[in-house]
Amino acid sequence: MFKLVVERDGCTSCGSCEDVCPELFELDEGSIAHIIGSKRVDNNDELETEDEKCGIDAAESCPVMIIHVYEDGVEIL
């Protein structure tokens, strides 16, 4: 099981995550990254999923490293 987290407070609206992984990421009306289908916890988006799809690629593409990926509870990115 994977968990993807975006710390939205740090998002610079660069759009890289959306470019790399539009299946999971989009910029919202305020141009802040949003994980499609996620739940909002404080100002973070969190999504638990069996298939990380392109989430790891998106995390690697984030210039300010605010996309985190956990696999079975262990942070891998």
Binding site for ligand SF4 (CB under 6 A): 6, 11-17, 33, 61-62, 64, 66-67
Query: Of 48 and 63, which CB lies nearer to ligand SF4 in the complex structure?
Result: 63
Euclidean distance between CA atoms 47 and 8, whole angstroms: 13
d(CA 72, CA 70) in angstroms, rounded, equals 6
Could you tell me if 27 and 36 are in contact, meaning their C-beta atoms sit under 8 angstroms apart? Answer: no
CB of 18 to ligand SF4, least distance (A): 7
Output the smallest distance, CB 6 to ligand SF4, in A.
Answer: 5
The helix/strand/coil state of 75 is strand
Nearer to ligand SF4, 38 or 61 (CB): 61
